[in-house]
Structure 1
Amino acid sequence: MNKEDIASIRKELKTNNSKLKIKEICSYFIKQDSKDILCSEEIYFDMMDELKKELYLKNFKKVLTGKIDSKIFELEFKNNKLGENQTQKQMLHILKTNNFKEATQTLVSKILEEACEKYELDFMISFVRGEVYKSVKNEDNGEVDNDVAYSLGFFICSVCPVIIPKNSLNFDFIEREFSTSVPAKAIINTASPFEGFMFPSFSEDAAETDKVVYYTQKENKPNHLFVENILDCDFKSTAQADKERFFEVVRDIVGAEIEPEVVSSIYEELGRRLDVEEESGEVSLIGLKDMERILENSGINTADKLRSSFLGIMGEENYEFKASSITPNYATKSIKIDNNTASISIGPQDLKNVKQVTKDGIRYLMIRIDDTATLEGFDLVTEEF
């Protein structure tokens, strides 16, 4: 699964789309303190008014929005080599059963028992089930034949916070008087779900029923209770954790100090791999041998230390980083240079223009620039160093 696979499903989640067939939606309103289900509803999508359809679809689309390995994760079911994982079987049942509400009710009960400790507000759990129709490509010329199509079945779950409006003082223009308002209706924050998932995962418009796509509201902070107890999946690592460990290996080899040009060269090497990934559509993985080549090409002599450092930090010799996790967007990603005086953001390609120097015992950060720097609309005075 890559960002194009996710986007291909997400773009279909819109009203009046002939390629999308939504069956039913089940929703459960739950009190956070007691874990009681105050209300549940099952309604066929075609029976909803247009505004309600649109709000639901925007909510489910949100579950498929965000950076892969930061907010969206493709996860594999545990111990599932022979297709014996019980959670996967449950997911397949929910996908195909005639009694959608009964099947989702079982999953809701499990969430209430084992995964909702982090929800600080009342919440709504919603499920949608449907199919997306994809046109077949002609293998000879690559053109799309819209007359021939196949369907991809899926269901999506979202967990949304509930907001209770505050009491307010109102003015009535008709009666010309002030009055108080005590809200009787709660607001479902469908624009910002806590978390959710889609089953199955998709790759190149083909279903992968041994995998599930998980979404978390907080970047690089998945709810491990949900992943492990509800989805029964193995969680490898977030993009942030991978990046930190990659550079922890580098730090173990070069020491606490490094030249900016070296870091810039590392990002350049990774950038080339991302370019290849963009062209091929295949995820670029960085294993031990790949890391050795990247560091050697960046001027770091790994000698015999890389393998022991890699094994000591990663815990296994066969671990592979995703290039996109270490530098998610090479063209626009900013790198921070921090100390107690200032925090400066700079593009990785410009790190070659940065130097830390000392003069008369005072440390300075020097950045080579081509144009005059400005401050509040003023050109800065240029002084001799």
Structure 2
Amino acid sequence: MNEKEISEIRRRFRPDKSNITRIRGCYVNEQREIVTQFSQSLGLMQQEEAEELLAILKKTLSGTIGKNLIDIEFATRQVLEGEEHKLLMALRDSSLEDDDAVREFYGRVIQALNLEGKYLILLACDKYDVPYYAEDGEKQEDSSEVFSYFLCSICPVKLTKPALGYYASENTFRNIASDWIVSAPELGFLFPAFDDRSANIYNALYYSRNLAENHAEFVDAIFKTEIPMPAAEQKETFQSILSETIADDCNLDVVQTVHSELSGLIEEHKTNKEKEPLVISKETVKGVLKSCGVPETRVTAFEEKYDDAFGADMEISPRNIIDTKQFELRTPDVTIRVNPECSDLVDTRVINGVKYILIRADEGVEVNGVNIHIS
């Protein structure tokens, strides 16, 4: 799914927009036991509560594609014969009314998921009359099809801290006792995927809030497929490969060029409003390294390490391995953050045998908020 398709489904999560009438779920304790199950009618809830519940579910479709939102792809054999896919289809086709399928799903999640503390498993089903758009972009009256899907959200339940509250109507202060509240989703998914504004039962859209943890055990249990390493791990792995393989040739110039080239690809992709998410291959990075004059032996070493870590044919999102908003230099004692567009103000030198990081500072220099003069 691309950003536009995800946004279209996100807009559904309002009482006046969706056909979600009921939320099913269960409450799981620290011992991985179901404390209670529920099937809550949104129509019987206060409007504010219904809106809040839909807003929590909506967060399962938030974040960045390739970082928080990952496309899960099923093999053809899985779709035809796989038990995991059959269960997801049973949930979707029954609009979550198949009690046996729902109980089996709860069991698989609880058995596989390694999540500390209490949590809720929330399930919501929606039927979306997908509007048809003419070639000129004008929305038509008739819908082209009905997109039937369900959303799963796994939400930690956390205990708030006691606090002092002020009650204006009584003009008094009173203690507010601690209580259990439903937090934003830690993980979840949408099935089937909404590709080309149509149902794609060969894909699901998976969500993980934490960039350092993708809950691979959950993905394996529910989808029986592998998931790319977490975005934070991709960045750390890429940085490690670059520094180890380029070695003595890994200077400021090389890192600046890699950052600049990848940032340029990201900006171009954004400017052109490309529908599909941007990914790069190892060949892209190899081309940048060669343009910096990195020796062929070093480039070959990079390729081999890349293949070992990511896989020979693995494409990754450049947003996962660089920060377009920041260029950072770090020593054991000092951290310097630079606007990436001004990274050319930074240089490295060896003066009288001592290594230095030099920053051109013409004007506007502050130290602890105080303007200083360099003479």
Q: Note whether the superposition's TM-score is higher than 0.5.
A: yes
Secondary structure at the counterpart of residue 269 of structure 1:
helix
Could you say what secondary structure the match of 2:20 adopts?
A: strand
- Please name the residue that 1:230 is paired with: 222
2:148 to 142, 146, 153: 153
- Does the aligned pair in 2 maintain the 1:78–1:232 contact within 8 Å? no
CA distance in structure 2 between the partners assigned to 1:349 and 1:193 by the alignment: 35
CA distance in 2, matches of 1:112, 1:10: 27
- Which residue is equivalent to 1:29? 27
Aligned residue number for residue 50 of structure 2? 53
- Out of 293, 304, 320, the position equivalent to 1:325 is 320
Whether 1:11 and 2:11 are equivalent positions in the alignment is: yes
Question: How big is the shift at 1:272?
Answer: 3.0
Q: For 1:285, what is the secondary structure of its paired residue? A: coil
Stretches of structure 2 that go unaligned for 5 or more consecutive residues are none
Using the TM superposition, give the Cα deviation of residue 340 of structure 1 relative to its aligned residue in structure 2, in angstroms: 2.0
Q: Secondary structure at the match of 1:282?
A: coil
Q: Does 1:114 align with 2:112?
A: yes
Instruction: Supply the distance in 2 between the matched residues of 1:94 and 1:286 (Cα, whole angstroms).
Output: 36
- Aligned runs of 1:76-225 on 2, under 5 Å? 76-77=73-74, 80=77, 83-97=80-94, 99-115=97-113, 117-119=114-116, 121-139=117-135, 141-164=136-159, 186-190=179-183, 192-225=184-217
**Structure 2 SS opposite 1:83:** helix
Name 2:296's counterpart in structure 1. Answer: 303
Following superposition of structure 1 onto structure 2, how do residues 346-361 of structure 1 map, counting pairs within 5 Å?
346-361=338-353
Q: 1:68 aligns with which of 44, 65, 70?
A: 65
Residue identity opposite 2:30 in structure 1: Q
Q: Deviations over 1:71-122 (max 9, x none)?
A: 222222367466332212211110111524443222111222222x332x22
Question: Secondary structure of 1:233's match?
Answer: coil
Judge conservation of contact 1:76–1:234 (CA < 8 Å) in 2: no
Please, what is the CA RMSD of the aligned residues?
Answer: 3.2
Distance of aligned partners of 1:171 and 1:156 in 2 relative to their CA distance in 1, 3 Å threshold: closer
* Deviates most, 315-324 or 85-94: 315-324
- In the TM superposition, residue 25 of structure 1 has moved relative to its aligned partner by 0.9
Distance in 1 between residues matched to 2:205 and 2:145, nearest whole Å: 21
Q: Are the equivalent residues in 1 in contact too, given 2:152–2:190 (CA < 8 A)?
A: yes
Q: Aligned-pair distance for 1:161?
A: 1.9
- In the alignment, is residue 275 of structure 1 matched against residue 267 of structure 2? yes
1:254 and 1:300 in contact (8 A); partners too: no
Q: How has the CA–CA distance of structure 1 residues 180 and 136 changed in structure 2, closer, same or farther, with 3 Å as cutoff? A: closer
1:2 deviation in Å?
2.7
Give 1:225 deviation, angstroms.
1.5
Deviation at 1:130, TM superposition (A): 0.6
Q: Quickly say closer, same or farther: Cα 1:7–1:74, change in 2 above 3 A.
A: same
1:23-81 deviations in Å (ceiling 9; x for gaps):
32112122212x22222111333333212211211111111111223222222236746
Deviation of 1:261 after TM superposition, in Å, equals: 3.0
Q: Distance in 1 between matches of 2:64 and 2:344?
A: 28
The answer to whether the Cα contact below 8 Å between 1:26 and 1:101 also exists between their aligned partners in 2 is: no
Asked if 2 retains the 8 angstrom alpha-carbon contact of 1:10 and 1:64, the reply is yes
Q: Which runs of 5+ in 1 are unaligned?
A: none
1:252-263 map, 5 Å: 252-256=244-248, 258-263=250-255
Q: In structure 1, how many angstroms separate the alpha carbons of the residues matched to 2:40 and 2:134?
A: 38
Determine what percentage of the aligned residue pairs are the same residue: 20
- Structure (1 or 2) with the greater helix fraction: 2
Q: Which amino acid aligns with 2:124?
A: V
Aligned residue pairs total 370
Q: Verify the 8 A CA contact 1:63 1:215 in the aligned structure 2.
A: yes
Aligned residues of 2:246 and 2:298 also touching (Cα < 8 A): no
One-letter amino acid of the structure 1 residue matched with residue 372 of structure 2: L
TM-score (norm 1): 0.84
